[in-house]
Amino acid sequence: MKWITRERPKIDRIACPWLIRRFIDKEAEIIYVPFSDVINQASRLNAIPFDIPGVEYTHYEGQCTFDYFLKKHQLNDPALIRMAAIIRGADTDRHDFAPQSAGLEAIFSGLAHNITDDYILLDLGMTIYDGLYIWAKDLYQLKHTQAGPAEQMLLEIFNRYINNKGNSKTPDWVAGLKALIQDQIDTNLSLTLKDLSKDLDVNPSYISREFSRYFDNLSYGDYIRKLRIERSVDLLRTSTYSLTEIAYLTGFSDQSHFTRVFKQQMGETPSEFKKKYLKGKKDSKS
């Protein structure tokens, strides 16, 4: 059986082939092609398309294509369900779904940056997901070694430092972080706090803990979603892109995810917003 999806895979488009080959069809052929060619090539090659808008195997209601594979093929393995939460969090920038999501996203972001051959990346990803499956099956309850005396002492010193109430000066990293986010938000859809903290040479845990104090009382994830909604508003006003295209261009997992977040922040759906905007624009000219 052949399965086809868009090129340059990272998280879900490697996790799904892993799932197919390990639990659905061991001899499955995975094909990566440019986004615009997926449907035509699927028909020509008699392949099943996945992880693109408008096909059966895709995102639904904030869940990933990996989630749909589990549901469609009735794969109720608890380890796969644990993996699904991690993959969903990594693929939709919702690291609150599972603490391992941020690490999975960081790993595949780095690999995808360095490896340009999709099939080499897939082979390596198969090994990574094999390891994640064993962890989710047998090791997920094990804890890493507790911090020793030296690490504990450093943590205490660090906590005293960040809790110093007398220091009201805005840290230098705040301005640097704002600049980095603005520079990369349009081109780096997998923008993570860990990556940004590395550029700033500041501990990511510290930035995460302090972030809301300097960014509108929002968590990092909420702040990024706010910027993406602002960007989507601009595209709704100035472009002819469809809602599905705007969702992908602004880093949302699918149109329904985009619509839900947009309505939460704006009080109306993107369609309602655009209709109201176009009507107001027309009325102003009459």
Hey, where are the domains in the chain? 2-139, 222-285
Q: Is the pLDDT of residue 110 over 60?
A: yes
pLDDT at 156 over 60: no
Q: Which residues contact 144 (CB under 8 A, 6 or more apart)?
A: none
3-state helix, strand, coil split of the chain in percent (to 5) is 65, 5, 30
In this predicted structure, the answer to whether residue 182 has a pLDDT above a threshold of 80 is: no
Count CB atoms within 10 A of the CB of residue 78: 10
Q: What is the pLDDT of residue 187?
A: 52
Q: What does the alpha-carbon distance between residue 59 and residue 131 come to, in Å, rounded to a whole number?
A: 25
Q: Report pTM.
A: 0.54
- Greatest pairwise CA separation for the chain in angstroms: 74
**How much is the pLDDT for 120?**
95
Q: 158 or 104: whose pLDDT is higher?
A: 104
Instruction: Yes or no: say if 225 and 219 are a contact pair by the CB < 8 Å rule.
Output: no
Lowest mean pLDDT across 3-12, 78-87, 192-201, 233-242 = 192-201
Answer for the pair 252, 261: CB distance below 8 angstroms, yes or no.
Answer: yes
Query: Would you say domain 222-285 falls under CATH 1.10.10.60?
Result: yes
SS3 48: strand
What's the chain's average pLDDT?
Answer: 84
Does the pLDDT value for residue 165 go beyond 60? no
Where is 5: in which H helix or E strand? strand 2-6
Q: In this predicted structure, what is the pLDDT of residue 183?
A: 61
212-220, long-range: CB within 8 Å, 24+ apart, which pairs? 214/170, 214/171, 214/174, 215/174, 215/178, 220/193
Q: What confidence tier does 178 reach under pLDDT thresholds 50, 70, 90?
A: confident
C-alpha 99/C-alpha 103 separation (Å) is 8
